[in-house]
Structure 1
Amino acid sequence: MGCEVCLPIARGYTIYFAEEENAIKLASYFQSFQEDSWKFIADRFVWLKESILFDLLDYLEVHMILDNIYAVLSSLSDPLKNLNDLRPIGSFKQEREASWIDTVIEKSSLCTHFQPIVKVTDGKLEVIGQELLSRGLDEDGQIIPPYKMFEAARIRNRLFALDRACRIQSVRNAGVVGDQLIFINFIPTAIYVPEHCLSSTFKIIKELNIKPEQVVFEVVETDEVRDLEHLKSILHYYRSHGFKYALDDVGTGFNNLRVLEQLKPDIVKLAIEFTDGVSRDTDKQKVAQSVLNIAHDMSALALAEGIEREEDLHFLEEMGYDLFQGYWIAKPQPTPMKSIDVSLSSSCI
């Protein structure tokens, strides 16, 4: 079950011709397509299915001036509803270029990579959890980087659908993690009503017999959050069902220390901006200490992500950080690492 935000829908557009003669000239062009895929709806207005719009862009570049033609996403049932949002038709080229993300979402062409999260025990790294990171797959099975997927989803207004697809795929692949903690990312702006938007996620967790206390839902891209109360309601919903939640990129943007105190996460992740080089930068050390103090004051674990150097890990471990994650420890990979045969060098202990 899903709402229209997440499910694939046939897109259509209302096209407006500032010069009536252009609409007349294109009449024969439109008639070459099936009748149910386009319709003249008023003087200078025509409604098109998206596939025709994409073809039309190429035709117009050769035969007409794009500046005098405008378009807006619309439905055939009410094609004149969003006319205030009309914009130059040429700007929809990026929609066409990003349309591949629809196939990724609808076919769930995704895979999961795992990055270990560790603690330090007697100078050795002990794996206590895995962050599950989604990657797209193109038609040849090659990896599509996450930043490319989410940028395309933003352009296509499919961010909600992609977040849901990634979350569900991660949960389906979580069984291989065993009894370790399972970190699953979610974008809070992609969840409207937790009871509805998270039902599929919770159902799969139950089917796989994963214990709720193993699962840590990690809030990402909180710089986009404008409704703090809505985010609180989502986090409360997670916690009321026995799950944990973590706050990502603490110390930057939206995730200032005041907000951290309001959200009261189970795990606080220090942003990489303050982790990388912290052993040599007193300003970063001050931020790291402040985040650590607040985390421990609220009985949360402090996790330093983005560990790129052994000396930074050692410095933060000495400061009191509980957990660590980063490329120096291990890069994300297709199968989870259950253990890491690495000890801190004697010079760092």
Structure 2
Amino acid sequence: MFLRNTLLDIKLYLCGIILFGLMPICAHAVTSVTLQLRWEPQFQFAGYYMAQAQGFYKEEGLDVKIVPGGPGVNMKEEVLSHRADFAIGNSGLALSFMQGVPLVLLADIFQRSAGVLITRPGYGKSIEILSQRNIALRALQDNPELYAIFNKQGILPGDLNKVLSINYPLEDFISGKADAIHAYLSNEPFYLNKRNVPFEVIDPINYGIDFYGDALFSRLDYVQKNSETVKRFTRASIKGWAYALANIPDTVDYLHQGPASKKDRAHLLFEAAVTKGLIMPDYVPIGHINPSRWEKIADTFKELGLAPINSKLDASFYFSYWSERGERFQYSILLGAFSALFLIVGGFVFWYRIVNIRLKASIQDKDELILKVEKVASFDSLTGLPNRRLFLDRLNQAIKWASRTSTFIAVVYIDLDRFKEVNDSLGHNGGDEFLKIIATRLASGLRESDTVARFGGDEFVVLLCNLSKPENVELIIQEFVRKITQATSIQGNILYPSASLGISIYPTDGDQAETLLKNSDQAMFAAKSQGTSNYYFFTQALQIKSSYRLKIATELREALQLQQFEMVYQPIVRLSDGRILHAESLIRWRLSSGEILMPSNFITIAEETGLIVEIGDWVFNEVLHFLQSIAHDDVSIAVNISPAQLNSPKHSALSWHEKIQEAKILPRRLVFEVTESMMMFKSHLVSSKIKILQQGGCLFSLDDFGTGYSSLASLKNLEFDFIKIDLQFIKELHRDARDKSLVSAMLAMAKGLGLQTIAEGVETVEQVRLLKEMGCDFAQGYYYSKPVSAEEFKDMLSKSNHD
């Protein structure tokens, strides 16, 4: 009897809940509202389209008009002007609110922003250098997180070299107009990969900038007058997003056949995968709002000087929505109170116990959720190591501890050498496996007080704490090098990893986290410039050198505009008869002070900043004009080409070929010199450009031959015409029998391959005699002439041919 009564109580309770739950739905009159999107229909807005298509808005008594966005559409203005009731914004909503704009945040749909900087390969190592390049950014309200990256490095928006105001940055990036562009992870990477354009990504989260992406918002007066409508709209929108992410193929089909018919289906699928990663539905309830995180975003705007220092986000900024777990169950309790009218006492007690069990479970779920969110925000998803954000937090704590205990700290910046080649040869899966192996090796053997983090790409940073003296660091660094350089087997391939390491010490090299990190980064670059598997300690001299490099990088761009570059030419003489048949073109930089800088003082910096392409184009055009002024068709000019030049998408071999044809110059009169090191690490892009110029009739010379880098296969596969024997073998040719034997072997090999030979650095008559006897074809050096001006070379050429 008791069981029967209990079952009856439960049935009565359920009937009451169902009847009461239906009452609000039946009571809804159809309300028309307008939603303004940020851009054209795409998966970025799939949740709203699916809420409409699946009838979720209709179930809530809403007739929703979805208005696509585009260039020039300001979501905030659309809402404030009453043309739209709801719109999609981003973290810039906090800035607007602090500036006094009456907006209300309804739901954070994207827990992470899709906004990133895309740069050319190798460009993103230094934010300072990047700030001197042409950067294509949209308005600050469209990408506040990107401006925040520069601000973190002490660079304000007004300090950026050139911010291009554009609507379609992708074409500007491909054409070379922009060196870095604001992009969305779900968009530009798809098109760049499709067009085989190489690029790198700078993600704000790696710099401690953790902004929200798409957020649903409305205006204050509308929310105050229509709170129930706002709740229903938000609830249905979140339901639409849950459906879209759980049914991606069906959602993509709907979008492709309907509102997003202009979009490529493959792109929609790509966008869907990225979007799910940004919304993080497996870790965070869709729409979840975290006020403390918004406060940090607000602080960033204050640091940028965009919001009053005393402004804040008060409660009126957040819409009190029942999807918060605690609030959801408060609503359930309220429902239960009314439904109790339908229940007998036994049923009510049963219901009350169930609700309390669910409340307890919800608190546990919330704790688990917080742990999951913290893990996503603080750890690298690939390796499981701490990310930049967590590393900086630990570094700041370590600095405080070291200050109190008078101990030392070391920050070790590690950059893997030639990682791009691992990715190119083994694919991204192989590259990921490689990174995990390196991460495991670095983490093994560290003390509990130490930290190894991955900052993204092939960059790792180690924090060594509680050091009694700085000298202890070097042994640890040597152990890192030993671990990294161990042979590694991946996908059946044996790899021999190497890395460049830079070290800064607290407090001698800085007492702030960002300073220590920047200085270790500079030291790493110094190590990399010395070759592979090197480490370098930061010094004041290195800081001075870094400042000098930044100064030169800035002045290089001005030098192009002010036409401060000059060309000189060093004759190359045929040994058999002493005639000048070639010359090597060499660049000089004449400063406004009259001082002349040699290439060794600025070419490397030009390569790092990307200006090498513009400088290289200028050199090429100068040589073309010079060849046009020389009447002798049998005289050729050699032009040095940098690997960074050929590896850059901005450089066009086809354009050079067309200019040669327009100049009406025999292509064989141009000899392009490439170094052995370039051949060692050549990419498919480099090889294809060399082939284009060769097929056009231009000649190629392999410079610095014999310095230990060359791949003999390159001599055959790329069909060189000349090899230049490095001056270090010529210098002691008449004194050192080993040098003589080496040069003799090089000459014999070149002859066997049908290549002509040029000896560099010839300075004595004895060297000339020996080279003639050994069968060398040409010689270049101060024995014949130093590099001379164009007019002087013409005079020398006339005398040589007359004689």
TM-score, normalisation: structure 1:
0.71
- Aligned twin of 2:597: 144
**Correspondence 1:73-88 to 2 at 5 A:** 80=204, 83=207, 84=455, 88=517
Among 616, 624, 645, the residue aligned to 1:171: 624
Deviation at 1:249, TM superposition (A): 0.7
Amino acid in the other structure paired with 1:272 = L
- The answer for the alignment partner of 1:306 in structure 2 is 761
Structure 1 or 2, whichever has the larger Rg, is 2
Aligned counterpart, 2:692:
237
In structure 1, what residue type is equivalent to 2:159?
I
Residues 194 and 234, structure 1, Cα contact 8 Å, conserved in 2: no
Aligned identity (percent) is 22
User: Match of 1:338?
Assistant: 797
Q: CA deviation at 1:321?
A: 0.6
Choose 187-196 or 320-329, whichever is displaced more: 187-196
Contact 2:759 2:780 survives alignment (8 Å): yes
1:15-50: CA deviation from partner (whole Å, max 9, x where unpaired): xxxxxxxxxxxxxxxxxxxx97xx964998664457
Tell me, in whole angstroms, the C-alpha distance in 1 between the residues paired with 2:747 and 2:713. 14
**Is the counterpart of residue 297 in structure 1 residue 752 in structure 2?**
yes
Contact preservation (8 Å) 1:303, 1:324: yes
- The alpha-carbon distance between structure 1 residues 221 and 302, as it changes in their structure 2 partners (threshold 3 A), is closer
SS at match of 2:757: strand
Structural mapping, 1:20-31, within 5 Å: none
Partner of 1:16: none
Write the distance in 1 (CA, Å) between the matches of 2:147 and 2:682.
Answer: 42
Which position in structure 2 is the counterpart of 1:325?
A: 780
2:134 aligned with 1:10: yes
Deviation of 1:157 after TM superposition, in Å, equals: 4.0
Equivalent of 2:613 in 135, 156, 160:
160
Q: Does the CA contact (< 8 Å) of 1:117 and 1:128 recur in 2?
A: yes
| Partner deviation per Cα, 1:45-74 (whole Å, 9 max, x = no partner) | 6644576379xxxxxxxxxxxxxxxxxx97
Query: Partner of 1:128: helix, strand, or coil?
Result: strand
Query: What is the CA-CA distance between 1:168 and the residue it aligns to?
Result: 3.0
- CA deviation vs aligned residue, 1:158-185 (integer Å, no higher than 9, x gap): 3333333333333333323432112111
Flag the 1:202–1:125 CA change in 2: closer, same or farther, 3 A: same
Match of residue 288 from structure 1 = 743
Q: Which of 113, 117, 127 matches 2:568?
A: 113
Quote the Cα distance in structure 1 between the aligned partners of 2:718 and 2:773: 26
CA–CA distance in structure 1, aligned partners of residues 147 and 590 of structure 2: 44
- After superposition, the Cα gap between the structure-2 partners of 1:172 and 1:149, relative to the gap in structure 1 and judged at 3 Å, is farther
Q: Does 2:159 match 1:52? A: yes
Q: Which residue of 1 aligns with 2:728?
A: 273
**What count of residue pairs does the alignment treat as equivalent?**
296
- Note the residue ranges of structure 2 that are not aligned, 5 or more in a row: 1-118, 124-131, 162-178, 185-202, 208-454, 460-513, 523-545
Q: Equivalent residue of 2:583, what SS?
A: strand
Unaligned runs of 5+ in 1: 14-34, 55-72, 342-349
2:702 to 237, 242, 247: 247
Aligned to 1:191: 646
Structure whose residues are more often helix by fraction: 2
The TM-score with structure 2 as length reference comes to: 0.33
Are 1:97 and 2:551 counterparts? yes
SS in 2 for 1:326: coil
The amino acid of 1:143's aligned partner reads I
Give how far 1:152 is off: 2.5
**Aligned equivalents of 2:719 and 2:146: distance in 1?**
55
Change (3 A) 1:275 1:214: same
- Counterpart CA distance in 2 for 1:42 and 1:318 is 64
Quote the Cα distance in structure 2 between the aligned partners of 1:306 and 1:234. 29
Instruction: Give the distance between the partners of 1:120 and 1:275, measured in 2 at CA.
Output: 15
Instruction: Tell me, yes or no, if the aligned pair for 1:168 and 1:200 is still in contact at 8 Å.
Output: no
Greater share of strand: 1
CA contact 2:757–2:778 (8 Å) conserved in 1: yes
Deviation of the 1:291 alpha carbon: 1.4
CA distance, structure 1, for counterparts of residue 787 and residue 693 of structure 2: 26
Give RMSD over aligned pairs: 3.8
1:303–1:323 contact (8 Å) kept in structure 2: yes
How far is 1:244 from its partner?
1.1
Q: Shift in Å at residue 222 of structure 1?
A: 3.0
Q: Distance in 1 between matches of 2:681 and 2:147?
A: 40
* Structure 1 pair 50–330 and aligned structure 2 pair: CA distance change class (3 A): farther
- Matching residue of 1:203: 658
Which of 127, 144, 157 lines up with 2:580 in the alignment? 127
Q: With CA pairs under 8 Å and 6+ residues apart, which has the higher RCO, 1 or 2?
A: 1
Shift of 1:140: 4.2
Counterpart contact for 2:646–2:685, Cα < 8 Å:
no
Shift in alpha-carbon separation, 1:89–1:206, aligned structure 2, 3 A? same
